[in-house]
Structure 1
Amino acid sequence: MPIREVLTYPNPLLKEISKEVTELTDDIKNIIKDLVDTMDATSHSTGIAAPQIGELVRIIAIDPGKNKKCKNHHGKRVLINPEIVKWEGLIQSREGCMSVPDYTGNVNRAEKVVVQFLDENLQPGAFEAEGFEAILLQHEIDHLDGILFIDRIISKRTDLFRRKKYK
């Protein structure tokens, strides 16, 4: 499948709420493949959500192991209709996003989460994540609800930063 273009802010599709997946159609299988291929094509991307490639369905792909600081994680996976059902603690994270390529920002996130989801065969699953993996899940699930990390910036005046460009 092709590597898809990642939509960037202010594309209005990024602010839409995605629909739940109820059956595993060929279209859904293609979206999953495109999501994973698009995430894998960028060395720095640890996650992507279907709305970022213009598909308003509740699917995310994550690969927390691409972050060298993330030692404990559940590996590369696709989550369909993911939902955070429990959270605890609060940590500040510096986040970036392929859909907001020119900025990073400080965001408050839960330190630990439990996520329920369907896998690529629509079988139910759940796991507990903490640290970077928990932050990644919250960031990607936000995309499914039309929320970008810049919507959660602690202070737009002091916690939003122009991304450094190295030549």
Structure 2
Amino acid sequence: MAILEILKYPNKALRKISKDVQAFDEALHKLLDDMYETMSERQGVGIAAIQVGIDQRIVLVNVPSEEDNEQHRENLLEIINPVFLKKEGNIKWNEGCLSVPEFYEEVDRFEQVTIAYCDRFGEKKILQANGLLAIAIQHEIDHLNGILFVDKLPILKRKKFEKELKRNQKQNI
């Protein structure tokens, strides 16, 4: 398994619309395993394939368990070719992103979602989610559509983000 490079905002590849996965084969399984290693290494709750430069409709989500607040591999969701079936309620959530490091902001999301998707073997599944799981799924599916959480910010918060980003880039030169 390999740790993959995560694309950072404002990389234009993050704006690509991802394509449906056609082949549920060994190459897909290796990508899923590498994405999991990459997400775990960076202590992320979710990752989309486009964040590692692959424009396929693949997201991983692994929210910490309520018992010990740890992420467990058996709770990992590999979500391929997701489609929203239902979106309900509204909630504000403080989000961050592996592609927008060290920036967190409150975003409006749906409180509950239902999605249809395929697992790594192409088996069709339906999932109802709420709370952090619903938020993470929406955040990652946005990536598949070329949307970042900062795009959802009101104009003043967006300007604050752009200013912080420029300052951080200057410091890292």
Fold match (TM-score > 0.5): yes
The aligned counterpart of 1:87 is 87
The aligned counterpart of 1:118 is 118
Q: Is the 8 A contact 2:42 2:98 kept in 1?
A: no
SS in 1 for 2:142: helix
The aligned counterpart of 2:108 is 108
Q: Distance in 2 between matches of 1:66 and 1:135?
A: 15
Q: From the two aligned structures, give the one with the greater helix fraction.
A: 2
The aligned counterpart of 2:26 is 26
Q: Distance in 2 between matches of 1:101 and 1:156?
A: 20
Q: Distance in 2 between matches of 1:158 and 1:23?
A: 41
SS in 2 for 1:157: helix
Q: Distance in 1 between matches of 2:93 and 2:69?
A: 13
The aligned counterpart of 2:147 is 147
Moved over 3 A (4+): 66-70, 158-163
SS in 2 for 1:7: coil
Give the partner amino acid of 1:129.
A
Alignment of 1:3-152 (within 5 A): 3-43=3-43, 45-65=44-64, 75-152=75-152
| Count of residue pairs the alignment pairs up | 159
Q: Which has the larger radius of gyration?
A: 2
Q: Could you state the TM-score of these two structures normalised by the residue count of structure 2? A: 0.84
CA RMSD after TM alignment: 2.4
Note the C-alpha offset of 1:27. 2.6
Q: Distance in 2 between matches of 1:156 and 1:116?
A: 33
Q: Could you state the TM-score of these two structures normalised by the residue count of structure 1? A: 0.86
Gaps of 5+ in 2: 166-173
Gaps of 5+ in 1: none
Note the C-alpha offset of 1:23. 1.6
Q: Is the 8 A contact 2:117 2:126 kept in 1?
A: yes
Deviations 1:88-118 (A, max 9, x none): 0011111110101132122110000001100
Note the C-alpha offset of 1:158. 3.9
Q: Is the 8 A contact 2:28 2:120 kept in 1?
A: no
Q: Distance in 1 between matches of 2:92 and 2:6?
A: 26
Q: Distance in 2 between matches of 1:53 and 1:66?
A: 26
Note the C-alpha offset of 1:66. 6.1
